[in-house]
Amino acid sequence: MIKIKEKKFEEIVDSIEGFKKILVLGCGGCASVCLGGGQKEAECLCVNLNLFFKSETSSRTARGYTIERQCNIAFIEETCSFITQFDAVLSMACGAGSQYMAEIYPGIPVFPAVNTIAIGIDREIGVYEEKCRACGDCVVGYTGGVCPVTRCAKGLFNGPCGGTNKGSCEIDSNIPCAWVDIYNRLKAQDRLGNIMKIRPSMEWQNQTPRTVVQKR
């Protein structure tokens, strides 16, 4: 799922400067699962903002509310009855969710309260690891289930590069070289043939927002 992390409090406060009534909008989907922007986190941010407003001796207020998803109109709808009571929205959903909120409410400024970090896995509760960069043309079928776009610092499709260093990446000895992992896995599965052919590089140019339409 999508992994997010709350922005620094100072940055959040900066972004909403000048706005009086703030709606802190949690997201019950991925944001909630990775403990970054669900109801609990939204209420907590709210408490901290209200304490801050109090210390400013201003009459500004923050209110918390959480909907099940910010990436689906069926769940955003719930907010339309009260959103106009607010001057600004602090969205705790991923970038997709906060942009959709902004699209639905053209007149209300929507600010992200979180950074969208990754498509990742749950290593343990509270520990998440990036696994995919949504490149749109998955190659892990050839690379032994290891993503070179995400794991290789250079995103090489025909690795490793000359800098590979005893199993580590040349940019940091603590980072395992993705291509060594790819090689080892394929070798263990007797599939080294998969990486013998040169693979053309990804067409990153002229990327436009992608839309998915499943045909069945």
Partner 1 sequence: MKSSPNYNTLVDSQNAGIDNHNTYVHDQNDNDQNDNQDTVIKNNSVCTEQINAILNEKKKEIAMALKVCARCTLCADSCFLYRSRERIPEYMPSHKFITSLGVIYKKKGKVTLDELLHMRDTLWKRCVLCTRCYCPLGINIPVLLALGRRILRSQGIYHLYSVPESISHD
Q: Which residues form the interface with ligand SF4 (CB under 6 A)? A: 2, 27, 29-31, 69-71, 93-94, 96-97, 132-135, 138-140, 147, 149-150
CB of 214 to partner 1, least distance (A): 11
User: Which of the choices partner 1, ligand SF4, none does residue 34 contact, using the CB cut-off of 5 to 8 A by kind?
Assistant: partner 1
In the shown chain, the binding pattern of residues 148 to 187 toward partner 1, with x for contact by CB under 8 A and - for none, equals: ----------------------------------------
> Residue 55, interface with partner 1 (CB under 8 A)?
no
Nearest CA among 191, 176, 175 for reference residue 143:
191
* Bridge partner list, 189: none
117 three-state secondary structure = strand
Rounded Cα distance between 32 and 25, Å, is: 12
User: Which of the choices ligand SF4, partner 1, none does residue 71 contact, using the CB cut-off of 5 to 8 A by kind?
Assistant: ligand SF4
Would you say 47 or 138 has its CB closer to partner 1? 47
Rounded Cα distance between 150 and 10, Å, is: 30
User: Which of the choices ligand SF4, partner 1, none does residue 96 contact, using the CB cut-off of 5 to 8 A by kind?
Assistant: ligand SF4
Tokens of 181: 């992992």
b/e per residue 92-106 (b: at least 16 CB within 10 A): bbbeebbbbbbebbe
Tokens of 2: 């999508």
Q: Is the dihedral of CA 200, 204, 206, 212 positive or negative?
A: positive
Pair 4, 31: CB distance under 8 Å = yes
- Which of 2, 6, 32, 89: binder of partner 1 (CB under 8 A)? 32
Give the residues lining the site for partner 1 (CB under 8 A).
23, 28-29, 32-35, 38-40, 43-44, 46-48, 51, 63-69, 72, 74-75, 78, 81-82, 85, 125-126
